[in-house]
Each structure stands twice: as C-alpha cells, then as structure tokens.
Amino acid sequence: IVRERCVNIQNSGKSLLSIINNILDFSKIESGNMELIEDKFNISSVLEEVINMTVTRKGCKKIEIIVLADPNIPCGLIGDEVCIKQIIINLMTNAVKFTHSGAVTLSVSHIVQEDSIILKISVEDTGIGITEENLNRLFTSFQQLDTRKNRSIEGTGLGLAISKRLLTQMGGTINVSSVYGQGSVFSFEIPLKISDARPFISVNEPEKLYAAVFIDFEKIENSVVKKKYTTLMNEISSLLGVKMVHIVSLSELKTTISERKITHCFIGKEEYIENKDYFDKISLELNVSLIQDITDSIQLPASIKCIYKPFYVMSVALALNNEADNYNKIERLSSSVSFTAPKARVLIVDDAEINLKVASGLMQPYNMELITADSGPSAINKIRFQNIDLVFMDHMMPEMDGVEATRIIRSMNGEYYKKLPIIALTANAVNGAREMFKESDFNDFIAKPIELLALDRVLKKWIPADKIETLTSKDNTTDDLKNNSNNINKEKHILVSKGLTYTSGNKDVYYEVVVNEGEEIS
C-alpha cells in the first residue's frame, strides 16, 4: 500500500510538472522568448523516450501501443530534439488519454532531400474522435473539447496549441482528421538536416536469417488491432529484409523448426504459457524471444529473451542481432549500465547526506572512483587538489549554491577548470532549466530524482572517452541473481528483474534484502 501511494504521489508530481511546463512554454512562445536549440541527435533515442513515456502513461489500460518505424531514417539528425520529443509525446499521451479500447499507432517515416529530410510523424487512435465543429478549436489555448464528457481527464488544453506553435517555429506543419466515435489521426512534418546518413536500425546479414512469429492474432477481439498487427509483421519483414513467417499452430512451428529453417522465434505470452516445456527446451538451441506487456509480465528462464511491447522494428532488429537483452525495459530500468569506467574519478556534491548516498549507489555499478563533498567550498577544495574527471553539483545548497561554486571553479587559473565537465543536480526540472544552467557555465543537468537512463546518458557523454570501457559481452548479473535467488529461497517466487528496480540495479543490496527478508518470514 505504501509503495502504491508513493507511485501515485510521483505520478501526480509528474503531471503537475507537465502542466507547469506547458504554461511556461506557452508564455515563452507568446512573448517571443522561445529559443530553439539545434544540435545533433539520434532518432532512436527520441523514439525510445517517447515509447517509454507512452507505455508509462498507458499503465494498465487495455489498449495496444503499435509503432511503425522506417529503419532507413538517418540515425543522425540536426534539430531541437527536446521540442520534437515534446510534440510527439503530446500527441501520443493525448491519444492514450482519449482512447479506451483498441490501439494507438505511432508511424515514423521520412522523405529524402539533398542534404536533409522531411521527418513525417503520424499518431492514429481508435478513441472518442472529434466532431467536425470542434476541429477548428483544437489548437486554441486552454481549450478542452467535450468538457462534460472528458471532465475526468487531466490537462490544461495547451499541449496542441504549444505543438502547433513549436512546429511553425521549426518550419513544420501539423494536420488532423477525425471521425467522431471512431478515432483521430494527428500528423506533422518537419524539415531536419542530416549529420549521419546511416540507417538508424540495421540487421547483420539479413539474408541468413529466418524468423518465425508464433502468435495467434485471431485471439485479438478488436478487428482494427488485429489488422494493425498483421500489417506490422509484414512491414518489419520487408523493411529489415528478413524472411519472417507467421505461424498459428504449434505443430506447424515444430515442423518448420525440425527442417532447420528457423534462426529466431518470436512467441506470444499465451503461446508460451500453453507450451512452456517445449519452448524452455528449444530455447537452449534456438533464439527464442517472448513478447509481453510490461505491466503483466511473467518470469522467464535465462535462455529465453524478453521483448516488452510495443513489438516493433527496433526491438526485432536487436533480437535478430542477438542483442535483445539490451532492449529489456525492466532490466534497463533496474540497471541501465552500458559501460564501466574504473579509471574515472567523479565528484558528487550535495549538502544532504542521503542524497550523496543515493547518487553514489546509483553510480556504483560503473566502477568509477566516487568522491563526495557536502558543500560548495568543500567541492572547490577537492577539485583544486585532486584530478577529477566529472562533477555532479547540487543546485541549491546553503551558504554557497551550485551556481556560485561553479562560477568560482571556472574563474580559477588553468584550462582544466574551464573545461572540467560540471553537471547540475537539480529539482528545478521545469522547461528552461537547460538554458539557465548553460548560461551559468554548467555543461549539462540531471533532474532529481535521478533517472537511471538519464544518468547513463550523461556519464557516457561527459566522461573522457579513453576512460570508458564498453560492455561487449552479455552481463551475467541477472543470471547470477536468478541462481542465487533460487538458492536463497526455493519455495518463494522471486521476480529478480522487478526486485532490482527497487535497488537501482545494485546486486549486493538485492542479495542483502532477499536474505534478510527470507530470514524474517521463514
């Protein structure tokens, strides 16, 4: 109960923050102070964050999130990543809010030009739809349509107005079509320059691969969803250049596998449960991936990979490249570590002891040398006499805050102090914080509470490249934990991946919790 209430508080806080951000964004746009920041970004990271946000927003709602993405979109683009992401998230969360059954489909494609592309985004839903007379009011500020019908749905009515203004500022356009009672389609186009023309998704030696998809789409009651999934599978096969066959019976699958044609097998949750012994056995010799919903997942043996919905071209490509573990969202949330840096020295500055412990615990899996300071003056002193590679500086501290401490560090003699990466740790996560910290000589910022994916991104970006050691082989942490969990308590069902989310991926803490809990309840 306590954990559930804490989650509710966190979600309510994020909702309030979103409303504040919308109001601030709209004020900036209206006053002409909204500055676009163009920089290089990767379309895959945008999609991943949008999908994660949408899945979180969907929660346990009985709708499907479907993603159709063209893998040939250039992986490196130039534009305002934050604004583009915000627009897509606005459209996706709106679709989820107003859809009670069926599916929300995100389509991502592009049109190639000389040294640029037109990025095309479409969000289609099977929701309540919009009446013809209300279509003209869609992009009006502080307007929610059908307020009587939708009064239980939160929001300021600013999301679409902000999205349209941002797109106009970036040279893009947005369109909408809808059938009341059946659903809506929002689509936009935006011109973007290319920094890296390579496809953002690719499969190694596709001609050597042959995948079987063992999911009975006939079990899906909604005809639109059924059709979407059939289209999705055909598009994935065509776009990746991989032969992919849809199989609806176990006997057909066994025949195909016995003929040694199959290299990879994708199965649904129900199909696995009904034939668990068979799939557990063949997974020792064949690449088997289970597709399931993160809110209703089951534990799997180590030999079977897990792909959390949405099942789309990126997750399939990773599985075909035998990298499916890297896409396991629960394990990424529990341990987002993609590298180690044993030679790196990182200073964490915060006046609260508990914050220092939390931050240190989150960074422990990277095997860096961690140094802590509880004040601005202490941090300055440690930087003066120690060779630090990266600093995480708390924004608000008594006597000397993070901004003043950073200003003093930058004013010290020597290029080292001018170039030392300093990252702001802040609870001030409203939009505009990035520009504020940049003007205050910070290199980047991370919002509190620290999210593991954001931490991994910042560490990878700012730690010296020659001190980063990429994890090239499969991390055996999860397998080790499963084995140890079984040894600790064979009579109790333990979902290791979920347990890790409560210890931030720290296996030592996890062992301690499991052992102590086992002693208390045995």
Mean pLDDT of 485-495: 44
Instruction: Please tell me what DSSP assigns to residue 450.
Output: P
pLDDT score of 258: 86
Q: Is the pLDDT assigned to residue 26 strictly greater than 80?
A: no
**Would you say 396 and 426 are in contact if contact means Cβ atoms under 8 Å apart?**
yes
User: Could you give the CA distance from residue 508 to residue 514 in angstroms, rounded to a whole number?
Assistant: 10
Amino acid at residue number 189: E
* Range in 16-20, 145-149, 184-188, 504-508 with the lowest mean pLDDT: 145-149
pLDDT of residue 209: 93
pLDDT value, residue 489? 42
Closest listed residue to residue 105, CA positions, set 123, 119, 120: 123
Residue 320 has pLDDT above 70, yes or no: yes
Does pLDDT of 232 surpass 60? yes
Strand ranges in 342-409 using DSSP code E only, listed in sequence order: 345-349, 369-373, 390-394
Contact predicate 446/458, CB 8 Å: yes
Mean of pLDDT values over 306-313: 88
State the Cα–Cα distance between residues 103 and 121, nearest whole angstrom.
16
For the chain, what is the radius of gyration of the CA atoms?
A: 25
Report the percentage of the chain scoring pLDDT > 90: 36
pLDDT at 481 over 60: no
> Where residue 152 falls among pLDDT bands split at 50, 70, 90?
very low
Report yes or no: 446 and 359 within 8 Å, Cβ to Cβ: no
> Which of 206-210, 298-302, 325-329, 505-509 has the highest mean predicted lDDT (pLDDT)?
206-210
Count of Cβ atoms closer than 10 Å to residue 218 Cβ: 8
Beta-carbon count within 10 A of 521 CB: 8
Q: Report whether pLDDT(92) > 50.
A: yes
Find the mean pLDDT for residues 220-231.
86
State how far the Cα of 215 lies from the Cα of 380, in Å rounded to an integer: 59
Q: Among 82-96, 313-327, 377-391, 501-515, which stretch is predicted with the lowest mean pLDDT?
A: 501-515
Give residue 450's pLDDT: 79
Tell which wins on pLDDT, 501 or 168.
Answer: 168
* Residue in 195, 9, 160, 177 with CA at minimum distance from that of residue 89: 160
User: CA dist 18 to 202, 269, 340, Å?
Assistant: 35, 34, 34
Q: Is the pLDDT of residue 321 over 80?
A: yes
Per-residue confidence (pLDDT) for residue 261, from 0 to 100 = 80
Task: Kindly state the tokens that stand for 284.
Answer: 């020792």
Given a cut of 60, whether residue 507 has pLDDT beyond it is no
Distances in Å between the Cα of 16 and the Cα atoms of 12, 20, 145, 156, 420 are: 6, 6, 21, 10, 35
Sign, CA torsion 214/218/222/225: positive
> 146, 154, 213: which is closest to 180 by C-alpha?
146
Tokens 């990277």 -> residue: 366
Helix (H) or strand (E) holding 480: helix 477-488
Distance separating alpha carbons of residues 439 and 2, to the nearest angstrom: 40
pLDDT at position 471 is 67
CA distance 155 to 42: 29
Reply yes or no on whether the pLDDT at 364 is more than 90. no
Looking at residue 391, its pLDDT comes to 97
Q: What is the pLDDT of residue 482?
A: 42
Q: Pick the residue with more confidence: 444 or 334?
A: 444
Q: How far apart are CA 371 and CA 392, in angstroms?
A: 10
Contacts 24+ apart (CB under 8 A), 294-297: 294/55, 294/329, 294/330, 295/59, 295/60, 296/60, 296/269, 297/330
Q: What is the pLDDT of residues 334-354, one digit of tens each?
A: 445 678 899 999 999 998 887
Q: Which residue has the higher pLDDT, 422 or 40?
A: 422
pLDDT at 463: 94
Average pLDDT in the 487-497 region?
A: 46
Half-sphere exposure of 7 (CA within 13 A, CB side): 8
Output the pTM of the full model: 0.61
pLDDT, the chain, mean: 79
Contact 312/69 with Cβ under 8 angstroms? yes
Lowest mean pLDDT among 27-31, 158-162, 388-392: 27-31
The string of pLDDT tens digits covering residues 397-421 is: 888 999 999 999 999 999 999 999 9
Whether the Cβ atoms of residue 357 and residue 313 lie closer than 8 Å to each other: no
Phi, psi angle pair for 117, to nearest 5°: -135, 160
Confidence of residue 174 (pLDDT cuts 50, 70, 90): very high
Residue-level pLDDT at 131: 85
More confident residue, 325 or 205: 205
pLDDT band of 15, cuts 50, 70, 90: low
Task: Assess contact for 371 and 363: CB atoms under 8 A.
Answer: no
Pairing of strands 173-179, 183-199: antiparallel
Confidence of residue 5 (pLDDT cuts 50, 70, 90): low
Banded pLDDT at 329 (limits 50, 70, 90): very low
Q: Would you call 278 exposed, middle or buried from its count of C-beta atoms within 10 A (0-12, 13-18, 19+)? A: middle
CA distances 71 to 116, 140, 219, 241, Å, are 16, 35, 29, 11
Three-state secondary structure call for residue 381 = helix
